[in-house]
Amino acid sequence: MFRRIILIISLGVCVSVLSAKQIIPIQTGIPFFFSPNTTLRMAAVGDIIVHKNQFLAARNDTDGSFDFYPQLQLAKPLIEPVDFAIANLETTLPGKDYEFFPRFGTPDNLAVALKKTGFDFLTHANNHVLDYGKDGVLRTLKVVDNLGFLHTGAFANRSEYNEKRIQVIERQGIRFVILNYTYGTNGRPTPKGIVINRIDRKKIADDIWLARQKKVDFIIVSYHFGVQYERLPNQEQKDLVDFTFKEGVDVILGAHPHVVQPYVYKPVTDKYGVRKKRLVAYSLANFISNQRERYRDGGMVLYFNLRKTQLEDGSIEREVEAVSDVPVWVYTAEKNKKHEFHIVALPQYFEKKFPHTLSKWNEFKLKRFYADYRELMHPTAKLLVQRETVAKLENSSSSKKSSTKN
């Protein structure tokens, strides 16, 4: 059963998600049947990272089990109702000996929680994919396979790579491919036998060509690239994006900087002479993590439609459209000698629908993230909270050292 579309509306200051009762089905009829006008609503988020305090928050100290879903639960209304949701799994699932930084290994329940939240697709090609070596890659792939995720970027062996190098996904008559590549793996070479997709222009061009030969409607590329904590894309990112669009890609999703970088939606002509609007999000930032520094304590959910329309002359029009975004911030507070974590959709907070009371320090940090986000992403939009208000909140907070516990 296919998910239903969330309509995202702009209220001039931020984006709001309609309630479940207002969700409108995008299509009725036989699954995968191509109607004259078919649309898929897509959602993409950035890095899924688990640091020590998140690990401790998820652990049941009585029986040693883990439950990460409470950390993601408030984000479910943002993810579950769309037709297809993508996330970057920037950790491994080694099954034991868990670590948090600089090597990331997380209990399997994280993947269970992601599935429960509504994610369909995970990307693996990032700088932490080899943190637990070959065994860590193999076990991670096995866990996500068993949970029913589609995924790419890392492959258990050459045979699997040959089979899944170009995975055609079909939903409601729309065929699309997601490709994924990383700039590197923190100096770790790829162990013999497995395959990790690295950024290499010839390989990328070959993969895009192969995808086109499969007569897909849309090609999406996920890059792990850029410079950490830089809020604007560098020239290397821009050049790679230009190259990728020229090869015929429709959407590019970026990760790795851990801060939001702008997205651009504009007409681009590819080398085949096709001119249409294409979308790049240079960095979707952190979706869930315990990075608390300014700009790193939140991220975004990017929404876009893939539309396929049969025109009167019988030709097919394929468009990426209805692009919108929802800023999210990671709330953490100490409760019963443990930290708790929640993803806050900022519209939810400003509409007074967030079920927790924020300390002055957390209120300051949330509103500072919001102001930073809006000024970067939507500089002409009116802010719900002005810089003067943020400054007053900062002054009224007791002190960073004493307030971060809340």
pLDDT band at 353; cut points 50, 70, 90: confident
Show Cβ contacts of residue 181 under 8 Å, excluding neighbours closer than 6 positions: 125, 153, 197, 198, 199, 200, 203, 204, 221, 222, 223, 224
- What's the pLDDT tens digit per position in 106-141? 999 999 999 999 999 999 999 999 999 999 999 999
What fold, for 8-347?
A: Purple Acid Phosphatase; chain A, domain 2 (3.60.21)
The pLDDT, as a whole number, for residue 18 is 33
Across 224-242, average pLDDT = 97
Per the confidence metrics, is the pTM higher than 0.85?
yes
- Give yes or no for residue 372 having a pLDDT over 50: yes
Per-residue pLDDT at 317 exceeds 50: yes
pLDDT band at 304 (very low <50, low <70, confident <90, very high): very high
Q: What is the mean pLDDT of the chain?
A: 88
Mean pLDDT on 176-188: 98
How many other C-beta atoms can be found within 10 angstroms of the C-beta atom of residue 272?
10
Q: Is the pLDDT of residue 324 over 90?
A: yes
Please enumerate in sequence order all residues whose Cβ is within 8 A of that of 287, keeping only pairs 6 or more positions apart, or say none: 45, 46, 47, 48, 75, 87, 299, 301, 328, 343
Flag the least confident range among 13-27, 39-53, 54-68, 350-364. Answer: 13-27
For 18-49, what is each residue's pLDDT tens digit?
333 232 222 222 233 345 689 999 999 999 99
Which pair of tokens denotes residue 109?
């329940």
Question: Percent of the chain beyond pLDDT 90?
Answer: 78
Distance, in Å, from the CA atom of 93 to the CA atom of 75, rounded to the nearest integer, reads: 22
pLDDT digits (tens, 9 = 90+) for 329-348: 999 998 877 889 999 999 88
Please report the pLDDT score of residue 57 as a whole number. Answer: 95
* Cβ contact 261:226 at 8 Å: yes
Per-domain boundaries in the chain: 8-347, 357-406
pLDDT in tens, 69-84: 999 999 999 999 999 9
What is the pLDDT averaged over residues 270-283? 98
